[in-house]
Every structure is written in C-alpha cells, then in structure tokens.
Homo-oligomer: A and B are copies of this chain.
C-alpha cells in the first residue's frame, strides 16, 4: 500500500473490511477472499476475528457471518495468494491479476470486457488496496487495471468496502435489466 505521502507501507487491517468484503464476496460467488499483510500482529488479529465468528459465540449468534468469513485466507504476500490459487486450479494455472485503482491508468480493462472474461472458467484475482491505495509497482506488475468506478461528479472517494461491493456487482451482479 501507499500512505498519504506516497510512501510504501503495510496498512492495518480494519475489522469492518473483513466483514463487509467477505459478505460481498459470498453474495457475488467469490471463491476466496485473501487478506494480505506482512505484519504478524495483524494476521493474528484477523485470525482471532475469524475464529470468533466461525467457531466462537458469533457463529451461533449469526451463522450468516460465519458463511462469509469462512472465505477469508490470510497470506504474508500477494505471491502466497497467487501460489495457492494456482495449486487449487484445475490446470495448475496462475490467476490473472486485476488491480483496482481510483486513479486513471494507461492500460485499462472495462467492466463489460472483464465481466465476459470472468465467464471463461479460469482463475482471476481482483486486488484492492487500503490506506491511500496500491503501490505503483503492484499496479504496473498486474495483468489488468480495471477502469475506475465513476459516479456522477468528479468526486470519487468510495471506501474500499464500498468499492469492492460496487465492482463485484458490476462484474457478476444480476437484476440490472429488470423493468
């Protein structure tokens, strides 16, 4: 990630990011939600939160949360996530990586085109950033950069939780064309 000044940092994990993004992932049929952090205390924190809702009191109180949080995998690096997806794929194939960024970029794939590609049965890894976004290295190393979500104004500052839900809805949601 980068911070406000553009320095590369490891950002803290936000509890509600885990809940909101895993619920969106489950709603839109995503297979796994990888939380990537090199920070040991952050990965321990994530494990405790997941455990509360999948095995602890939360699992009984709200089983829908369990179903969502069960999608979370924790990795120290993006490469770790890519390796695991590859070894779980039928053809031992690395996922195509798609970065999401509010900034405009030169190599951009549109929502409709990616929506069609996602139907080809191959693995894809959508990458979201927190703090002030993904680092330039990560963006330039990805297979695709997804076009930015636009609203109606030049203001474009959705939270990562909101952006993830909107992007999944555009890529795999249904019901848009009902009258």
Contact = CB atoms under 8 A, between A and B. Distances in A.
A169 B157 contact: no
A112 B178 contact: yes
Nearest to A167: B169
Contacts of A113: 179
A50 B20 CA distance: 23
A110 B178 contact: yes
A174 B165 CA distance: 15
A111 interface: yes
A80 to B, nearest CB: 27
A118 to B, nearest CB: 11
Q: How many monomers of this protein are in the complex?
A: 2
B178 A151 contact: no
B28 A159 contact: no
A111 B28 contact: no
A20 B177 CA distance: 26
A151 B166 contact: no
A151 B20 contact: no
A57 interface: no
A100 to B, nearest CB: 13
A176 B170 contact: yes
A178 to B, nearest CB: 4
**Shortest 9 CB-CB contacts between residues of A and residues of B:** A162-B165, A27-B151, A29-B152, A110-B178, A28-B151, A166-B169, A20-B159, A150-B175, A64-B157
